[in-house]
Amino acid sequence: MNEPLVSVSGRLLSEPTCFDEVLNQGRAVNELRRRVQRKQHLPSIVLHGPKGVGKKTLARIYAEAARCEAPTEQGGRCDKCSTCKSFKGSGEPLGFVWANGAGEGLPRALRKLAQVGTFGERPLFVVVEAEKITDEGYDELLKAIEETQTTFVFVTDLEKSVRAAIRSRCVNYLVKPLSSSATRQFLCGELAPQRASAASQVLDVLVAHTRGIPGEMIRVVRLVQSSADHSLDAVRGELELDWPLELAGAWARILRTDIDGWDLPEPLRAVPVNEQLRRVRALLLYAINEGDVGVELKGRSVTDAALLHRDKEFAKLLIGELNAAAAERGVSSRQLGAHLTSFWCAYVPPQHAFDPPAVAPD
């Protein structure tokens, strides 16, 4: 069965080049567009939000439009003025400084700014990984923010990870993921359902998996467009969402971790520790809720995509093992479920020699 979804546009989505092409049209986009339209680029900016939400793309679009001599009414670069023409096709940014907070480029650029006083008529710095700004450039950076007409755009995943002295001198904009409905609308626009029931289930999985993150949405569309099989099982396989079936074989052993200790099941050995815990917790909640999964919280999907639309036999297996474990301990399934939920929320398994290192969640 390879017909549930097909590409509508037949194109591979490209990087946005203007504000109108940005998927998540929220306050951050509107405010940056308004700055360009009014030609008012102070105070400096902190762009923050989840990884993959499009912060760096938005910073680039804003910087290019701010450097443009005659931006469009929509706040985009004109591609006609001397500034745009001088950089068009060169692959270089439009005369602004792009630096990593952890690298040497920022301190160097700040020293140059201190020497020459400006980087042109509309000086602008984009600083990615702003939470990693080193002590070396920190004092010069604060001085530049306060004493020059340079606009700084600081990009970070977590707003509070940027030093408070920097944040207090900036306007902070949260770049949000799309809502579940907006995510679904985008995916439907790119992937046309041909078989309504099957396509609806696939779309549910894609919406939950992408979580409204534009970068992941585009990646998934490209993946599906390039695949010959768009069935639910095939999409799960492409997105590596088969782990519940693999983990179910070790479920009885996992339910005894609080008694016997952590005996790492084979299906979990290839993933970091935090992902091991996330999967176990998701499966436990699924079993406790008897296969019932919540779909949205404040308009966004919170369901684990790997657990959506699993068949009744899979749910029966997990629930049966939970009931058996409860009977063995002489408690009700509800009591055991509450105990294990508390246990797994606080539990940190010991590191094994073959475990990959834990990584920070997106």
pLDDT for 159-206, tens place per residue? 999 999 999 999 999 999 999 889 998 888 887 654 444 588 899 999
Reported confidence tier of residue 124, pLDDT bands at 50, 70, 90 = confident
- Token output for 288: 């406790």
CATH code where residue 138 lies: 3.40.50.300
**Cα-based angle 97, 67, 159 (whole degrees, multiple of 5):** 55
Per the model's pLDDT, the better-predicted residue between 358 and 297 turns out to be 358
The answer on 163 and 29 residing in a single domain is yes
> Using an 8 Å Cβ cutoff, are 43 and 170 in contact?
yes
The answer on 113 and 5 residing in a single domain is no
The answer on 50 and 169 residing in a single domain is yes
Residue at which a domain ends, from 174, 206, 228: 174
Quick count: other Cβ atoms within 10 Å of Cβ 146? 8
Q: Please indicate, yes or no, if residue 17 is contained in any of the structural domains.
A: no
The answer on 208 and 96 residing in a single domain is no
For residue 93, what are the contacts with CB-CB under 8 A and spacing of at least 6?
A: 60, 63, 64, 87
Partners of residue 171 on adjacent β-strands: 45
What letters, b where the CB count within 10 A reaches 16 and e where it falls short, cover 95-119?
A: bbbbbbbeeeebbebbeebeeeeeb
Quick count: other Cβ atoms within 10 Å of Cβ 77? 25
The answer on 256 and 343 residing in a single domain is yes
Sign of the alpha-carbon torsion through 248, 252, 258, 260: negative
The answer on 268 and 344 residing in a single domain is yes
The answer on 220 and 296 residing in a single domain is no
**Summary mean pLDDT of the chain:** 82
The answer on 30 and 168 residing in a single domain is yes
Q: How far is CA 181 from the centre of its chain?
A: 17
Q: Please indicate, yes or no, if residue 292 is contained in any of the structural domains.
A: yes
Range of the domain at 323: 242-362
The answer on 187 and 167 residing in a single domain is no
Residue at which a domain ends, from 208, 240, 272: 240
The tens digit of pLDDT for each residue in 318-352 reads 999 999 999 999 999 989 999 998 999 888 877 64
The answer on 353 and 248 residing in a single domain is yes
> Using an 8 Å Cβ cutoff, are 30 and 218 in contact?
no
Mean of pLDDT values over 132-138:
83
Mean of pLDDT values over 19-45:
91
Number of domains comprising the chain: 3
* Residue among 68, 136, 72, 58 at smallest CA distance from 103: 136
The tens digit of pLDDT for each residue in 6-29 reads 444 433 356 788 898 888 878 999
Q: How far is CA 306 from the centre of its chain?
A: 17
Q: In the 8-state DSSP scheme, what is residue 83?
A: H
Give the range with max mean pLDDT: 67-71, 105-109, 241-245: 241-245
pTM for this prediction: 0.79
- Token output for 295: 């779909």
DSSP 123-174: -EEEEESGGG--HHHHHHHHHHHHHS--EEEEEES-GGGS-HHHHTTEEEEE
